Structure 1
Amino acid sequence: MMEFLKNERKQILYSIMLGLSGGLVGIALFGLSGYMISLSFFDPPFFVIILIIAVIKLFGMMKGAFKYIERLLSHEATFQLIGRLRLDYFRSTIRTGRNTHSVKFIQKLNQYFEQVENYYIRIIYPYIVAVLISLLLMVLSVYFGMAFVALTGGIALILLFAIPKVFESRMSQALEAREATDDDLYRRLYHFIHDYTDLWVTKKAEKEKARLSPDMKSIRKNEDKVAMYEAAMQFIAQLVQIAAIILIILMLHEDTPLWVPMVMLIALSYFDLVMPVMNPASQYRRVRTAVSELETDVPQADAVEDYPEVTAIQAADLNFRYPNASLDVLKDISVTFRKGEKHAIIGSSGSGKTTLIERIIHADPAVTIYNGGEETDHPALRADASIMPQQLDFYNATVMDNITLFGHVDRSQAEVGADLEALGMAHYAPQTAIEFTGRLSGGEQKRLHFIRMLAEDKPWWIMDEPTARLDDRLKQKIWDRILSKPTLIISTHDLSRLESFDFIHYMEQGRIIESGPYEELMQQKGAVYQAVQRFKDFL
């Protein structure tokens, strides 16, 4: 693991040194307190008590200062490390055909980074500090005899190695089972929320809701199991502490009873240092899995692979049902999108528009990609199309990194700055750091993703609700830029620009019930005509 600490070795080394110093000062503080208790038996001069109290206070201040600087350096090193790992990983994965727009991919990736972050903050330097202090205490315990050395070494082995190792596989299995159930529950919830209208109309909503209960119970069961293992570790460690205290009393009470308070308080201080390390150490295996995923090395050849041009996308008899669902979301969809054509997919909420876009994006077996008259592989579409899915992905990085996908897309800071200003986001500069989970509003996410598509400048644009959550002024700006592109597949509730599309497809309950040019459909006065009239009345 330490091979990652290329630029952070100095901070980590200083953190270990400060942690060691702080730990020793803390032990000395408790030791002095115990010594003062023993000394009080002899009725010492008052100034000696004052002196010891002053030294204890000084040690307390030193311990606090060491701890503060230690945390400052270790967190700085950790966040620098995470930032570099994140950047390197995204630069690698962006060159592959992997679906980085997937919400589950982003969720899993964040879990990996969180595990690595916790590992370095909670294990690397605290664990090394605990081991070093254990070794120093073993050296100091020589003063009391080899029996004390054996006792100190045995306690360190039990608390730092044996207990975490015993629970490592159990913790890993419980957490892996929880994540597997979480993945399954995510798919069920996505179906339930996405298709709720149809489920409610067909009176199956409560039945589908009830089917979510076993997965939720399973997740709670695994979480309870993890909590039980953590409690068991703490309980065993407490038993070890009690046994150690009893042994200390038995070993000292006859020959040197006045040492008992000091040695007991030193032991208690040592236990306070070691206990927080046990639980993170028991999850070492999972952290190794996370690091292995982040170490993925993508050959440079993948970055320059030349995919054929996409000239058409055809869905033939496309049917789709979400896993564990009882209803088809898409039914007998047959439609062809050709290069140079603008297609709008419209319909009420829950009609299947978003799912159709997703099946095109995610390489459904019923969707064929063409280069001329020849079929080609789905990665060609990703190379030739800019995509705005329903769930947008941004990273805790700068605006520039998010728009250029960490340098993968060629766009200058001046161009990004101009795009931001044109779309009412001049309050962001290219180097502004953003946090996707807390800073970006829905409209800002749409606009930043749109700027990313402008930077990619690919011939195909596939977009799901591109103007949702935007005001009228921004909608017009976005539509003007969108409609300047020659090839479009757009799912939208905004019907203000339908006349600018070559083909309109109206979906209802998972089917395309009307399809054709705008003027022709308006003359038929069918579903599209009625939808346009309702939209105008709403305005």
Structure 2
Amino acid sequence: MKKLTIKFDKDFYLSIIIGVFGMLTALGMFALSGYMISKSALGTPLYALMILIVTIKLFGFVRAITRYFERLYSHRSTFTMLRDIRVELFNHLIPIVPNVFRRYRSSDLLTQMVNNVERLQNILLRVYYPPIVIILTTFITILVMINFNIYAGIVIGISMFISVILIPYLSSKRANLLAMQVQQSEEDYVAEYFDFENGRSELKRFQQFVNFKEKVFKKQNQYEQKKYKEQKFLSTYDFMLNLSSMVSIWCMTILCIWQIQDGVLNAVFFASILMITITLFEQAIPMTNVAFYKADTERSLQNIEEVINQSFDEINGGSVHSDALYNAKNLTFKYDFQERPTLKNINFEIEKGQHVAIIGPSGSGKTTLLNLLMGLYSVNEGVLSYNKELLSQIDKEAYVDEINTMLQHNHYFEGTVRENLLIEAKDEEMKQVLSTVNLSYLDLDQQLTKNAENISGGERQRLSMARLLLRSAQIWMLDEPTASLDEHNEENIMHHLLNKDDTIIIVTHNLKYLQSFDHIIVMNEGEILEQGSYAQLMKDKGYLSEVIYYNEQLV
């Protein structure tokens, strides 16, 4: 079970020591203020009052200094903790990406990771720090107060126990439940809004913009209602703490008056004791949100640890007994949010240097199979091997260096063409590959806008191919590499690829070049219907033969 490490460094302990000292200084300052008020009422000489005033000012100066250093050390400790948590979280996520997207929507995961980590900043500043400091300060105050009046010390002890421990403890469960509801509602709202923004143009084109916008507003209203309910509870919680402090102050006032009348307490100390009590409760104000922040941070930790403890170990369906470059045996794969497997009982072998086409209708599992070969996901059942080793157990970084991959949607950066080729090479080499894909008219220093929106879709696809041509990998895995190209550029790209001696695996709907491939895998509904050479499949008169015959009839 992986757990995030919350470290308390020396800065945190220093901030607590300085915080306690600062609170005691504040108590001393207000106690002297109360004593000065009593003395002035009794006609104490002016020079004596001046000494008290100077002392109070000195206490105030010391209090200001302690507040500065307390904030310095506590915030530095928090930033250090957040830095360490982010690094640790990143290290935990690397082994499970992109498999983790089989179980979480990308928008949900992004919201969780960013928001949950940000919430963890409250652990030191608002969960541990306030109660520790106030409890230590209260304990010292009680010890000092007992020397003046044991009953006053008892009243302060009971009151602070109720305010600092009992009420937060009783409220934490409810606060946690409300925090969970708010977070779930927030995730639903963000996911809905994310889909709305990404599909804005599609929604307008199909006249569904207004309907989807209403759904987003509905999710927003639900989130706001949950948030209001949470704030309402926190207001009630705050009221209970204030009520507890007011009752305690009144009890202390009545106790002091009673003891003064009985001659047990010197009236000079009445104002001091009252000021200490009031100041102590004022210093406990940060406790008002401890229950909320405690519930919030616990939930955030739970959510993060739930993600990093996801297991995607490949179920071993047997050992590898094939000399082929790639071997799939009884392979099954299913996304966790789907009920039916995306791939079922897949078996094939790909030899080194073979040119392989994976064809089939949309939704047949072609892209998913290619993603498995790229090492992006682990299989649920069966065996998928590479060079006689299970693909899930090889060094991923080394494997990435050995393959050239092109997805259906590739990312382009705001910058020059040179920067978007994503590899360090000589200008002559870059110009050569651009010429190979018929992009010689693009200058290496030409600026591309966000996601290369200032060039056409076909130019973007050819730019992606140019990236791959600059690499020395000898295995190519391409998903619809000519989907956006005109006939001339399509022929150019396919001719260049199919004349290579490298291992080439292409997912395609295009039947035009199938005769040039060594091996064809025909898929439908997650299964391999047939596979073999073009000549063999046409001779068998199966699915591929029927499709080609049908297309010829249409022409």
TM class by smaller structure: 0.5 to 0.7
Instruction: Confirm whether residue 174 of structure 1 aligns to residue 178 of structure 2.
Output: yes
Give, in angstroms, the shift of residue 194 of structure 1: 2.9
Counterpart code for 2:297: V
Pairing partner for 2:206 from 196, 202, 209: 202
Instruction: Confirm whether residue 86 of structure 1 aligns to residue 75 of structure 2.
Output: no
Instruction: Confirm whether residue 214 of structure 1 aligns to residue 218 of structure 2.
Output: yes
Counterpart code for 1:178: V
SS in 1 for 2:405: strand
Aligned counterparts, 1:344-355, within 5 A: none
Give the Cα separation in 1 of the matches to 2:172 and 2:244: 19
Instruction: Confirm whether residue 107 of structure 1 aligns to residue 111 of structure 2.
Output: yes
The equivalent residue for 1:461 is 405
Q: Is the 8 A contact 1:199 1:205 kept in 2?
A: yes
The equivalent residue for 1:51 is 51
SS in 2 for 1:253: helix
The equivalent residue for 1:474 is 419
Aligned counterparts, 1:14-53, within 5 A: 14-53=14-53
Give the Cα separation in 2 of the matches to 1:341 and 1:77: 57
| Cα 1:103/1:369, change in 2 over 3 Å | farther
Give, in angstroms, the shift of residue 10 of structure 1: 2.8
Give the Cα separation in 2 of the matches to 1:209 and 1:358: 36
Q: Is the 8 A contact 2:98 2:377 kept in 1?
A: no
Give the Cα separation in 2 of the matches to 1:237 and 1:462: 60
Instruction: Confirm whether residue 487 of structure 1 aligns to residue 497 of structure 2.
Output: no
Q: Deviations over 1:11-40 (max 9, x none)?
A: 222222111100100111111111111111
Give the Cα separation in 2 of the matches to 1:187 and 1:359: 27
Give, in angstroms, the shift of residue 491 of structure 1: 8.2
Counterpart code for 1:26: A
| Cα 1:481/1:286, change in 2 over 3 Å | same
| Cα 1:50/1:99, change in 2 over 3 Å | farther
Give, in angstroms, the shift of residue 252 of structure 1: 1.6
Q: Is the 8 A contact 1:4 1:81 kept in 2?
A: no
Q: Deviations over 1:96-125 (max 9, x none)?
A: 466467453343223333233211122223
Give, in angstroms, the shift of residue 89 of structure 1: 3.5
| Cα 1:462/1:35, change in 2 over 3 Å | farther
Give, in angstroms, the shift of residue 360 of structure 1: 5.0
Q: Is the 8 A contact 1:341 1:487 kept in 2?
A: no
Q: Deviations over 1:483-518 (max 9, x none)?
A: 334424468999698644659xxxxxxxx9867669
TM norm structure 2? 0.61
Q: Is the 8 A contact 2:122 2:293 kept in 1?
A: no
SS in 2 for 1:203: coil
Q: Is the 8 A contact 1:310 1:370 kept in 2?
A: no
Pairing partner for 1:268 from 269, 278, 281: 278
| Cα 1:288/1:359, change in 2 over 3 Å | farther
Give the Cα separation in 2 of the matches to 1:96 and 1:365: 13
The equivalent residue for 1:280 is 290
Give the Cα separation in 1 of the matches to 2:510 and 2:371: 19
Aligned counterparts, 1:90-489, within 5 A: 90-96=90-96, 99=99, 102-254=106-258, 255=260, 256-291=266-301, 311=326, 371=385, 380=391, 457-463=401-407, 464-476=409-421, 479=464, 480-483=466-469, 484=471, 485=473, 486-489=475-478
Give the Cα separation in 2 of the matches to 1:220 and 1:301: 36
Give, in angstroms, the shift of residue 42 of structure 1: 1.7
Give the Cα separation in 1 of the matches to 2:43 and 2:14: 42
Give the Cα separation in 2 of the matches to 1:223 and 1:265: 37
SS in 2 for 1:95: helix
Give the paired residue count. 418
Counterpart code for 2:252: I
Give the Cα separation in 2 of the matches to 1:183 and 1:154: 42
Counterpart code for 2:280: Y
| Cα 1:342/1:273, change in 2 over 3 Å | farther
Counterpart code for 1:156: M
The equivalent residue for 1:69 is 69
Give, in angstroms, the shift of residue 307 of structure 1: 11
| Cα 1:275/1:111, change in 2 over 3 Å | same
Give the Cα separation in 1 of the matches to 2:199 and 2:183: 24
Give the Cα separation in 1 of the matches to 2:284 and 2:179: 23
Counterpart code for 1:177: Q
Give the Cα separation in 2 of the matches to 1:295 and 1:477: 34
Q: Deviations over 1:146-168 (max 9, x none)?
A: 43222111211111112212221
Q: Deviations over 1:460-491 (max 9, x none)?
A: 53453332423334335665443334424468
Counterpart code for 1:194: N
Give the Cα separation in 1 of the matches to 2:165 and 2:200: 50
Give the Cα separation in 1 of the matches to 2:87 and 2:415: 30
SS in 1 for 2:95: coil
SS in 1 for 2:284: helix
| Cα 1:482/1:294, change in 2 over 3 Å | same
| Cα 1:341/1:107, change in 2 over 3 Å | farther
Give, in angstroms, the shift of residue 279 of structure 1: 0.9
Give, in angstroms, the shift of residue 62 of structure 1: 0.9
Q: Is the 8 A contact 1:310 1:384 kept in 2?
A: no
Q: Is the 8 A contact 1:357 1:491 kept in 2?
A: no
Give, in angstroms, the shift of residue 63 of structure 1: 1.1
Counterpart code for 1:265: M
Q: Deviations over 1:222-252 (max 9, x none)?
A: 1111211221122122222222222222122
CA-atom RMSD, angstroms? 5.0
SS in 2 for 1:73: helix
The equivalent residue for 2:433 is none
Give, in angstroms, the shift of residue 458 of structure 1: 4.8
Give the Cα separation in 2 of the matches to 1:311 and 1:19: 63
| Cα 1:369/1:274, change in 2 over 3 Å | same
Q: Is 57-66 or 264-273 further displaced after alignment? A: 264-273
| Cα 1:275/1:38, change in 2 over 3 Å | same
Q: Is the 8 A contact 2:378 2:392 kept in 1?
A: no
SS in 2 for 1:57: helix
Q: Is the 8 A contact 2:193 2:216 kept in 1?
A: yes
| Cα 1:178/1:247, change in 2 over 3 Å | same
TM norm structure 1? 0.63
